[in-house]
Amino acid sequence: MNNWKGKNDVLLIAEIGGNHEGNFEYAKKLTQLAIESNVDFIKYQIYTGDTLVSKLESPKRNSHFKKFELTNQQYIQLAKMCHKNNVKFMASVWNLDSISWIDEYMEIYKIGSGDLTAYPVIEQTCKIGKPIILSTGLSTLKEVKDTVDFIRKVNPKYHKKNMLALLQCTSMYPIPFSDANLNTLESLKEINGCEVGYSDHTEGSYALEIAVAKGAKILEFHFTDSREDKSFRDHKVSLTKPEVLELIQKIKNIKSLEGDSVKKPLAVEGDHIKTFRRALYPKKDLPEGTVLKGSDLIALRPNSGIDARDYQKIIGKKLLKGVKKHEKLDYKILK
């Protein structure tokens, strides 16, 4: 089983995250729309304000996250809603105490960019032994390598390509195209030997499409019902159901365009090897006994007779019979 292959080839993760803004009914609405969008996973963030942010060091941030909390039972209901509709449930579990009750609903764990250096969180997640997707926003390539090494030290099963994947990410909302840094996909893959994908914080789907063309096997994108009249920043970089369905069609087109990695003539090219390529022809009428010079020859379509690549081979050869201008040549009349 390939954990990183989705229904539409690329694994698609619709990140509801905090877009529900603490409203469970709205969370269910977004989940239903995401289900209808034909994605592979619907993703959430499981936390409490006090298990994520210091209320003494950062009281405003602590209060912010408290307003976005859902209960344990509500997350379980969302997970069951996903499973009932043949969509998988995923979460960034920021509150490690939640693992005990949410693990049975999780096939893959997501570690967000902010937790790439949170080794205690990563260690506990690794010990579970399920596949992990790690976002790499805020980090240098060395930091990513260090975290990958740490993960593999905690649990050697993450040496397997099917167990650990990395997402290129830029942790700001929204970002201009120039900050997407999609070229890092290749370096992330080469240095760490992991499958790679892209977690998007641009507006629209264009960066996601380009990421697929550059080899991303996983796409994570924020998801909402509408971006209109929304103040929470994540909505601005979110896709809607119609946009996800359009993205899926574009992914199919990209995959179709990729074709086969083996370079060879295709059946659709028909007889073009003959009709498009050139052969060597007499540039003018030439009598028997003529010793061929470059000025006696012209390369023309179709590729009948002597292939144009053999140009040097027949210079200096003698004609055993006369030929007319543009007449097909044959080695049998050359000496």
Full domain range(s) for residue 271: 267-333
Q: What is the pTM of this model?
A: 0.90
Do residue 187 and residue 144 come from a single domain? yes
Question: Containing H/E element for 76?
Answer: helix 72-84
| Domain boundary, last residue among 233, 258, 283 | 258
pLDDT band per the 50, 70, 90 thresholds, residue 193: very high
- Does position 180 have pLDDT exceeding 90, yes or no? yes
What pLDDT shows up at residue 144? 98
Do residue 117 and residue 209 come from a single domain? yes
DSSP string spanning 106-140? -SSEEE-GGGTT-HHHHHHHHHH---EEEE-TT--
Our count of domains for the chain comes to 2
Instruction: Flag the least confident range among 40-54, 167-181, 227-241.
Output: 227-241
Do residue 215 and residue 273 come from a single domain? no
**pLDDT (mean) for 18-24:** 88
**pLDDT (mean) for 80-101:** 96
List C-alpha distances in Å: 54 to 47, 91, 113, 121. 13, 22, 19, 16
Do residue 251 and residue 276 come from a single domain? no
Do residue 163 and residue 311 come from a single domain? no
Do residue 90 and residue 172 come from a single domain? yes
| Domain boundary, last residue among 225, 258, 291 | 258
CA 94 to chain centre: 26
pLDDT band per the 50, 70, 90 thresholds, residue 236: confident
**What is the Cα–Cα distance from 101 to 91, expressed in whole angstroms?**
13
Do residue 78 and residue 174 come from a single domain? yes
**pLDDT (mean) for 184-213:** 96
Domain harbouring 307, CATH code: 3.90.1210.10
**pLDDT (mean) for 261-274:** 94
Do residue 284 and residue 200 come from a single domain? no
Do residue 250 and residue 309 come from a single domain? no
pLDDT band per the 50, 70, 90 thresholds, residue 156: very high
| Domain boundary, last residue among 216, 231, 258 | 258
Q: DSSP label at 190? A: H
Do residue 55 and residue 158 come from a single domain? yes
Do residue 234 and residue 187 come from a single domain? yes
Domain harbouring 43, CATH code: 3.20.20.70
Instruction: Flag the least confident range among 222-231, 240-249, 250-259, 270-279.
Output: 222-231
**pLDDT (mean) for 8-13:** 97
- Does position 332 have pLDDT exceeding 80, yes or no? yes
List C-alpha distances in Å: 297 to 17, 325, 333. 71, 9, 15
What pLDDT shows up at residue 18? 84
Do residue 138 and residue 280 come from a single domain? no
Average pLDDT, the chain: 95
What pLDDT shows up at residue 230? 75
